[in-house]
Structure 1
């Protein structure tokens, strides 16, 4: 029997990951993605060959320091006309690459472990961070149905996750995220402001001087 590169691996029921609460409806699942880390990264390489990483322009005309691409039924894009989800890659006009099964299975498993059974993501934003790259505090609010959670997977270099409140002015907590950690938030925390502090320079055995973040969403 053959095993496809992007098939999902089952979770080990005898070694449940450590779960750390962030707030109502929000948790960090420590090391949750490590059992499929090499398959996730191989899939990222495969996807970015079809839809290359790019630096988007904000509606205000600023270039985002994070490079990104997408997979799934829709992709998150930004330009001077605004933020939105689009079924096609604006750079090529082609549909975004399909979401690999290893992505989908991990997102569904993480959401269920965090108390959100039945999560069915239709989009995955793939962000690439290099040393010095940051992501300012923001809310994920472009999705039509805010009842579904956000599932965010960290791969590669460690980062400092900024976890704020429901107002931009709320002072964020600083949470260290390591390779394989997964953050899930929804319910009362669905619109919490969050971001990533400037990435420290280091070297990771699987990704070098890079952090990869997979963010799964249900857009409709």
Structure 2
């Protein structure tokens, strides 16, 4: 039985770092497997693509989205779009993912976007803020699946001291309140630390209210 099934809404996080809340091992292995099946269905309807930053740098992750909007980046900038770069609609956010949002987000709003980032071996994500949304009072919820990743938490402005924590498969993290706009990133992924993905790698699901 997963912690979601055991505890329900309102359960306290395992720990909080600079206001960022972490629920360790929130999803049981069975729920992780079911969610992975749902993610594969998302990628079948809206294929993973290789994003490019506005400066033209190819990112090391591959991504797609589910929900009303998808997050994209290319030479035109960072933004949300109602359609995949190849022209198809984004598929709906699966119930297995919405259940986690409804249990842990702390808001009555439903997410408009579930960004799916796939980290192959060697991929990383530089320090950044999530600030392309209209309402910063709404939280950002992150679900980790697959290999462990070293998550770095900074400040609401660039620079200064940071803290890091290892995120493992089944962990859920929330950035809200004063921590909604902290800089954060993935320094590295530790290969071979999870059996969830046959060929290794990490999947991160990031849920956001966009409008």
Q: Please indicate, yes or no, whether the TM-score normalized by the shorter chain is above 0.5.
A: yes
SS in 2 for 1:12: helix
The more displaced of 183-192 and 170-179 is 170-179
TM-score, normalization by structure 1:
0.88
CA distance in 2, matches of 1:55, 1:37: 25
CA distance in 2, matches of 1:185, 1:136: 17
Q: For the structure 1 residues 139 and 10, does the alpha-carbon distance in structure 2 shift closer, same or farther, using more than 3 Å as the test?
A: closer
Indicate the residue corresponding to 1:4 in structure 2: none
CA distance in 2, matches of 1:36, 1:30: 14
CA distance in 2, matches of 1:179, 1:97: 24
Query: How far apart are residue 131 of structure 1 and its match?
Result: 1.6
TM-score, normalization by structure 2:
0.92
Q: For the structure 1 residues 187 and 117, does the alpha-carbon distance in structure 2 shift closer, same or farther, using more than 3 Å as the test?
A: same
CA distance in 2, matches of 1:204, 1:105: 23
The residue correspondences of 1:1-220 to structure 2 (distance < 5 A) are 11-13=5-7, 19-24=14-19, 26-34=20-28, 36-91=31-86, 93-111=87-105, 116-208=106-198, 209-220=200-211
CA distance in 1, matches of 2:7, 2:178: 29
Whether the aligned pair in 1 keeps the contact of 2:4 and 2:27 (CA below 8 Å) is: no
Q: For the structure 1 residues 23 and 45, does the alpha-carbon distance in structure 2 shift closer, same or farther, using more than 3 Å as the test?
A: same
Whether the aligned pair in 1 keeps the contact of 2:70 and 2:82 (CA below 8 Å) is: yes
Q: For the structure 1 residues 18 and 82, does the alpha-carbon distance in structure 2 shift closer, same or farther, using more than 3 Å as the test?
A: closer
CA distance in 1, matches of 2:129, 2:50: 19
SS in 1 for 2:164: strand
CA distance in 1, matches of 2:89, 2:13: 37
Gap runs ≥5 in structure 1: 1-8
CA distance in 1, matches of 2:72, 2:124: 18
Gap runs ≥5 in structure 2: none
Alignment RMSD, CA only?
1.7
CA distance in 1, matches of 2:13, 2:189: 24
Deviations 1:109-129 (A, max 9, x none): 121xxxx23141110000101
Where has structure 1 moved over 3 Å in runs of 4 or more? none
CA distance in 2, matches of 1:97, 1:18: 30
CA distance in 1, matches of 2:157, 2:12: 31
Q: For the structure 1 residues 17 and 191, does the alpha-carbon distance in structure 2 shift closer, same or farther, using more than 3 Å as the test?
A: closer
Query: How far apart are residue 58 of structure 1 and its match?
Result: 0.6
